[in-house]
Amino acid sequence: MSAIDDLFSQLRQDNRKALMPFVTAGDPDLDFTAEVIKELVARGASMCEVGIPYSDPIADGPVIQASYTRALGKKVKLAGILETLGNVAPQISAPLVTMVSYAIIYRHGVEKYADQLKQRGIAGMIVPDLPIEEAAQLSKVCKTRDLSLIQLVTPTTPQDRALKICETSSGFIYYVSVAGITGERTALPPELSERVTWLREQTPLPVCIGFGISQPEHVKLLAPVADGLIVGSAIVRRMASAADSDRSATLKDIGDYLETLLAAL
């Protein structure tokens, strides 16, 4: 069992749901990335997703796109990101996963990437651009190393295809709340709860919702039908201010914001 399996097993025993923030690695630098992760976990985050900057956005909205551009402009490299996460992992009580393009994994080497995650205590990976037709190899590599391979199901994914995605996934299923890109939203689709409920009935894996979640009202609405909620752009936007302001103030702002969401969970 992976660290993520253990996490959701404990959450279910405690009748709790996961709140999982997303941060961009290297914006404004890797030292601050480490500090943000530690702050989020100290404030109650169940897990942290760490975005590996990539030049060709997959489903990223303008906030995360801009953060990736800034990080790449500062020459942030995969080796430095993994080293930073390896240093942070033993200091926190929550699993870390990378949000990473399959192009990066493939270029780096599938087994090499998985081995480096395992060596650094990273629990798994979210691979948003991995087609189900090409997922078998990476799924097998992750399974043999007790790493979670988290894949996405979207509102436009046909039901039969969603079931196939569940078969090669592990850890949890990332359910994309809207057909579109990441970003803060004031409202979420009314049919979202019904679709997530159906998916949870089809798989033993936890189902967690991401894209657009940014307000306590969203948390109150979705927590009853999901196993966890993912918050990204609202945190990445706050992280960006660290480049021009007091970092301790930015950390406090991020932590306080997370607590407002946890209070609604």
The first and second tokens of residue 64, run together, are 């995360």
Judge contact between 259 and 90, C-beta under 8 A.
no
Contact (CB, 8 A) for 127 and 100 = yes
Residue 26 CA to residue 67 CA, distance in Å, equals 9
Query: Quick check: 233 and 62 in contact, CB under 8 A?
Result: no
Look at residue 152 and give its three-state secondary structure: strand
Token pair of 3 as six digits: 């660290």
Which residues have a catalytic role annotated?
49, 60
Q: Which of 51, 19, 59 is nearest to 154 (CA)?
A: 59
Do residues 228 and 18 make contact, with C-beta atoms less than 8 angstroms apart?
A: yes
The phi, psi pair for 152, rounded to 5°, reads -105, 140
- Cα separation, 214 vs 235, whole angstroms: 9
Distance CA 146, CA 119 (A): 12
